Amino acid sequence: MERLDSFLYRIKKSPLTIAGIGIILCLLLTALFAPWIAPYDPYQISPSNRLKPPSAKHWFGTDTAGRDMLTRVIFGTRISIRIGATVVFLAVVSGSLIGLFSGYVGGKFDEVVMRITDVFFSIPYLVLAMAITAALGPGLLNAMFSLSIVWWPIYARLIRGQVLQIREAPYIEAARCLGATRRRIVFRHILPNALTPIIVQASLDFGNAIMYAAALSFIGLGAQPPTPEWGAMISLARNYLQDSWWFATFPGLAILVTVIGFNLFGDGIRDMTDPRLREV
């Protein structure tokens, strides 16, 4: 209870963290209640309303098919949250398990795993994700799978470093002397004490996953039209920037606000969990 009170107290002292939490809550509520919030069907075509500017009827204007942009941005929130959650979950689970056993087992297994991660780190994330998605075929599911493959080495390296420190701790030696199995030591004693940096990294990567998925959709490798995904909407709008500014502006602002929200939240969690960064 004291830890929870201390945690809440530190949150109250960080306005930027509160702002990040507020943005995330708004995004989650928008995604959850999208069918009730949106004024129109996101796939409803109306040629007579093609490329209408923002008005009382269409707050964010319309696109080339006459679809309401506000509705599509709202439903895009649901897709983007699903993208971030899926990519981060797959990367955290796979990378953490690999890094956990790599750090604890050590030896040749650890050496092989670390050399594999070096290969991944030597290639820019977006370029590697583009190559994998192109090989698998364009599509939102393939884009999410590709991004999770790109990001697992980050978590593998991160948790491996934590394991190398924790496995030599006195309480781990005590557990070995008491006859605890390797599985119990790894999952009961080491993993819970190595989760904090993983949580911080995951909160930062959530927004980045949404941004990278939008980039893949922008070049035609991610979500395909008429899916109301922010990157795909911007890709469709790039030929109309001069005459229909609203077409690309509002999906772009949605990406900007989402990434800022998760970055603020991630930075706040990092500051609160790292003793070196806490305010006295």
Give 152-172 pLDDT, tens digit per residue: 999 999 888 888 777 767 777
Both tokens of 217, joined, read 């959709």
Residue 87 tokens, joined: 């990519």
Q: What pLDDT is attached to residue 193?
A: 74
Q: State the pLDDT confidence band at 3, using cuts at 50, 70 and 90.
A: low
Residues 6+ away with beta carbon under 8 Å from 69? 58, 60, 61, 62, 63, 233, 246, 247, 250, 251
pLDDT of residue 270: 75
196 within 8 A of 158, measured Cβ to Cβ? no
CA atoms 151, 156, 157, 161: torsion sign: positive
pLDDT in tens, 225-270: 888 999 999 999 988 888 889 999 999 999 999 999 999 888 877 7
What pLDDT, on a 0 to 100 scale, did the predictor assign at position 5? Answer: 57
The dihedral through the CA atoms of 177, 178, 179, 183 has a sign that is negative
Confidence bin at 48 (pLDDT 50/70/90): confident
Averaged pLDDT score across all residues of the chain: 85
C-alpha 260/C-alpha 248 separation (Å) is 18
Kindly tell me if the per-residue pLDDT of 278 is higher than 60.
no
Q: Average pLDDT for residues 103-116, to the nearest whole number?
A: 86
What is the reported pLDDT for 274?
59
Q: Does residue 22 surpass a pLDDT of 70?
A: yes
What does the pLDDT read at residue 209?
92
Furthest C-alpha separation in the chain: 77
Determine whether 63 is exposed, middle or buried from the number of CB atoms within 10 Å of its CB (0-12, 13-18, 19+).
buried
Say what the pLDDT of residue 174 is: 74
Rounded distance, CA 97 to CA 20, Å?
29
pLDDT confidence band for 216 (50 / 70 / 90) = very high
Q: How large is the average pLDDT for residues 96-103?
A: 86
- Per DSSP, 53 falls in state P
pLDDT tens-digit readout, 174-212: 766 766 666 777 777 777 777 778 888 888 889 899 999
3-class state of residue 197 by DSSP: helix
All residues at 6 or more sequence positions from 260 whose CB lies less than 8 Å from its CB, including other chains:
20, 23, 207
Ordered by where they begin, the domains of the chain are 68-273 (1.10.3720.10)
The answer to whether 227 and 140 are in contact (CB under 8 A) is yes
pLDDT exceeds cutoff 50 at 125? yes
pLDDT at 73 over 90: yes
Q: What percent of the chain has pLDDT over 90?
A: 46
Residue 21 has pLDDT above 60, yes or no: yes
Least confident interval from 40-49, 101-110, 204-213: 101-110
Segment 213-235 mean pLDDT:
91
How confident is the model over 59-82, as a mean pLDDT? Answer: 93
pTM metric for this prediction: 0.86
- Residues 178-215 as b or e (16 or more Cβ within 10 Å = b): eeeeeeebbeebbbeebeebbebbbbbbbbbbbbbbbb
Nearest to 253 by CA among 237, 266, 265: 237
